Amino acid sequence: MEFEFWWLLSLPLFFAFGWVAARVDIRHLLRESRSLPRTYLSGLNFLVNEQTDKAIDAFVEAVRIDPQTVEVHLALGSLFRRRGEVDRAIRIHQGLVDREDLSEEQRLNALHEVGQDYLKAGLLDRAESAFMRLRETALKETAEKALLEIYQQEKSWDKAIAIAREMPDHDHRRERQIAHFHCEMALQEIATSRYDKAMAQLETALHINPRCVRAAMLKGDVLAAQGQDDAALETWRRIEQMDPQFLSQVADRILVTSQRKGDEAGAVNLLRYYHERYPTLDLLEKIFRREMAQDRAQVAYDLVRDELVRNPTLLGLDKLLEAAVITAPPDKRQDVELVKGLIHGHTRRVARYCCTQCGFKARQYFWRCPACGDWESYPPKRTEEFDLAV
């Protein structure tokens, strides 16, 4: 094997070049760190340790020492906003926007922070103005998300629809949102008895998202309000093909409308059929209450007992004991009431709906989470049965 002698000389040279490059990088980093105010580094340390008040004090001192440090101004304004001192955050961020020595990227970041400040303060018109200016920049996607949130807070559903159509749609998420926006517009029309316009909005929602259960529910409401009970019942029954989990949400509608038609027994049998195929605690609750209202406590007791054998839950046990109080012998009734009181106290924690995105729990069902603002993030099941299913 032939070997060139000069290769032996090249190895030390490579090591030397690497050593020199490393020294240059280290000196560069040291020079940059020394150029930063010491209080800025202290502020970062306080942030890491979640000591917000001390971090703010450190950043205020850093700004006093070096008023030209843009990053410190941005960080300080954001901290003020997080602490609720929105007016101070606005002054800091707006001051950056008005400066003439900023780069374009820095100015856009400052304008974005101003928009967030106004949004936090509830000054939606000013926040909208700031984010509209950002729509034609590199921050377009972020600006459009903020504008969509603003229009939802303002209930400007037509504007929300327009901007949502321009945003990228991942997994048909925007389609579902837009369908809900049309449902919100339909509710406004229903409130003023303009049923034709409400129906047009609901048909549009179902065209955009054929599996929009909420639109089908509202469509049935409009038909029932116009006296078309058969058409309303047929619309609600179609929810079985769309998403049977939501049948419990229309159970009361089916019962009331069927009762008006003189077919309450048929409605109860239909709900029993639904519960047999798609059991939920809410659906069980509707049937249970109907049987108890008709003074059929033993029928209600047997219904819940059979469900407990199939799906044992505290909520089901609570209903069983409620019926047992009535059917129990007089000498045992006080004991049953005592046990029921103990169980009922525990069921209050699990008888809630839970958002799958942020974990916010609520006693009533929401199409849009009050905490995180996500649509259709609440499964139509109580916490206990949802946890058991998972």
Instruction: Give pLDDT tens digits for 248-292.
Output: 999 999 999 999 999 988 999 999 999 889 988 888 888 888 888
Q: Which of 107-116, 165-174, 301-310, 347-356 has the highest mean pLDDT?
A: 107-116
**Which residues are part of a known binding site?**
355, 358, 369, 372
- pLDDT reported for residue 123: 92
- Environment class of residue 143 by beta-carbon count within 10 Å: exposed (0-12), middle (13-18) or buried (19+)? buried
Q: Is the pLDDT of residue 240 over 90?
A: yes
Mean pLDDT of the chain: 80
Question: pLDDT by residue (tens digit) across 187-205?
Answer: 999 999 999 999 999 999 9
Binding residues for Fe cation, by number, are: 355, 358, 369, 372
* C-alpha–C-alpha distance, residues 313 and 346, integer Å: 11
Question: Please, which pLDDT band fits residue 44 given cuts at 50, 70 and 90?
Answer: very low
Q: What is the largest CA-CA distance in the chain?
A: 109
Tokens of 301: 């007791």
Q: CA triplet 388, 389, 390: central angle to 5 degrees?
A: 90
Q: Is the pLDDT of residue 304 over 50?
A: yes
Q: 331: which residues sit within 8 A by CB, 6+ positions away?
A: none
Structural domains in the chain plus CATH codes: 169-242 (1.25.40.10), 352-390 (no CATH)
- What confidence tens digit (pLDDT) does each residue in 81-139 have? 888 888 888 887 888 788 787 788 888 988 999 999 999 999 999 999 999 999 889 89
Query: Is a pLDDT exceeding 60 seen at residue 28?
Result: no
Cβ burial, residue 80 (10 Å; 0-12/13-18/19+): buried
Q: 153 or 173: whose pLDDT is higher?
A: 153
Q: Look at the block and give the residue holding tokens 């609570």.
A: 318
Q: Give the predicted TM-score (pTM) of the model.
A: 0.76
How large is the C-alpha radius of gyration of the chain? 31
pLDDT in the model for residue 10: 52
Q: Please enumerate in sequence order all residues whose Cβ is within 8 A of that of 157, keeping only pairs 6 or more positions apart, or say none.
A: 151, 181, 182, 184, 185
CA 169 to chain centre: 17
Nearest to 91 by CA among 105, 112, 75, 77: 77
% the chain with pLDDT above 70: 79
Average pLDDT over residues 2-11: 50
Exposed, middle or buried: residue 93 (CB in 10 Å: 0-12, 13-18, 19+)? buried
How far does CA 282 lie from the centroid of its chain? 22
Q: What CA–CA distance (Å, rounded) separates 92 from 110? A: 9
**Two tokens at 214?**
């909420």
DSSP label of 361? E
Calpha distance 73→62 (Å, rounded): 9
* Rounded alpha-carbon distances, angstroms, from residue 335 to 228, 302, 317, 338: 49, 20, 15, 5
- Spatial distance between the Cα atoms of 274 and 251, rounded to a whole number of angstroms: 10
CB count within 10 Å of CB 241 equals 9
Residue type, 231: A
At 354, which helix (H) or strand (E)? strand 353-354
Tell me how far apart the alpha carbons of residues 50 and 39 are, in angstroms, rounded to a whole number: 16
